[in-house]
Amino acid sequence: MSFVPTFRFAPSPNGRLHLGHAYSALLNADFAERFGGRLLLRIEDIDLGRCRPAFVEGIFEDLTWLGLRWEEPVRRQSDHFALYRASAARLRERGLLYPCFCSRRMLAEAVAQRESTGRPWPRDPDGAPLYPGTCRGLGADDVARRVGAGEPHALRIDMESALAQAPRPLFYIRFDREGAQEKVAAQPARWGDAVIVRKDIPTSYHLSVVVDDALQGVSHVVRGKDLEAATDLHVLLQRLLGLPTPLYHHHGLIFDDTGDKLSKSRRSEALADLRARGVTAAEVRQRLGFRSQPTPST
Ligand code: GLU
């Protein structure tokens, strides 16, 4: 069987889609067409507290309205927690994950205390303070007792051990619309001991995304620049789990008229609102730099 480039659009149904999502989805479809590939849709609904069935329905409606088509079945991450749990267990067996009982508040206080001495505490690429390692050195008995007592805990990656064990080299290939490729060195250390399994769910965005991209045979990831730095961590997880690394394209983000990044949290106008105001899909496609009509599928 010949190789078919495989793309995916992978929204999280924790809000309504806006122009930024439309751009990402249309760009994936555009790439798939240019490269003679296929487009998958994946619903990244691991965050059970924030995801809503109505937002999933909204994703289907908005993408269909934009003229997009994708291959069935649509993968829903919430159906696959057992798989993510098994991947985490593999890392844990190798001593690469450790339980962390710290709350957000404890971490903020520890960091504030250290920063009160005048030295800034190092941050990860998203601006969050790097984990100070408080739980890394807990004794096995202490951990067993606290886990046994049902104390909530996340699982963090032991970055030093992970870097020592990960097969080299750590890099990925960046590609662009013209097909040009470039090698990018991954620097996962800048994420420190990142959370790989959250306290509230048996996975995290980072773990499920690498497991699913591999399982679905995704060869080309097209997503926003806000996830570019996270790719370094994804490459590390891929090497540790023996998964292939797709090629990556991180596109610029779409800004609103005031220069703010469009995001669900800032209540940017949703595609559904534009539609209700009489804006057509052709106008949205054009505004985002795509042909007004989708290519008819044959
Ligand atoms: N689910 C993520 C989001 O909605 C995108 C994940 C990805 O493309 O890797 O931001």
Per-residue model confidence as pLDDT tens digits over 36-70: 999 999 999 999 999 999 999 999 999 999 999 99
Strand order in the sheet with 220-224: 71-76, 38-43, 6-9, 220-224, 247-251, 171-175, 181-185
Residue 137: which residues within 8 A CB-CB, separation 6 or more? none
Does 174 score more than 90 pLDDT? yes
CA distance 233 to 210: 10
- What is the predicted pLDDT for the residue at 64? 98
Residue 21 lies in a domain: no
- What is the predicted pLDDT for the residue at 30? 97
- What is the predicted pLDDT for the residue at 260? 62
**Which of 209, 218, 225, 226 best tests ligand 1's pocket when mutated (most atoms within 8 Å of CB)?**
209
Residue 195 lies in a domain: yes
Residue 76 lies in a domain: no
**Total domains, the chain:** 1
Q: How far is the CA of 81 from the centre of ligand 1 (A)?
A: 17
Residue 207 lies in a domain: yes
Strands (E), the chain: 6-9, 38-43, 71-76, 97-100, 154-157, 171-175, 181-185, 195-197, 220-224, 247-251
Ligand 1 atom nearest residue 44's Cα: 1
Average pLDDT on 234-259 reads: 90
Residue 97: count other Cβ atoms within 10 Å of its Cβ: 24
- Report pLDDT digits (tens) over 3-43: 999 999 999 999 999 999 999 999 999 999 999 999 999 99
Residue 29 lies in a domain: no
Q: Which two tokens stand for residue 2?
A: 């010949």
Domain residues for 134? 81-216
Specify the 3-state DSSP secondary structure of 177: coil
- What is the predicted pLDDT for the residue at 265? 46
Ligand 1 contact via 46 beta carbon (within 6 Å):
no
Q: Which two tokens stand for residue 151?
A: 């104390």
Residue 270 lies in a domain: no
Residue 187 lies in a domain: yes
- What is the predicted pLDDT for the residue at 267? 52
CA distance 291 to 71: 22
Cα dihedral: 44, 223, 274, 258 (round 10): 120
- What is the predicted pLDDT for the residue at 114? 86
User: The whole model's pTM is what?
Assistant: 0.94
Ligand 1 atom nearest residue 213's Cα: 9
Strands (E), 166-297: 171-175, 181-185, 195-197, 220-224, 247-251
- What is the predicted pLDDT for the residue at 110? 86
Mean pLDDT score across all residues of the chain: 94
Ligand 1 contact via 6 beta carbon (within 6 Å):
no
CA distance 131 to 200: 18
Atom 6 (ligand 1) nearest CA? 10
CATH number of the domain where residue 201 is located: 3.90.800.10
Q: What type of residue is 216?
A: Q
Residue 209 lies in a domain: yes
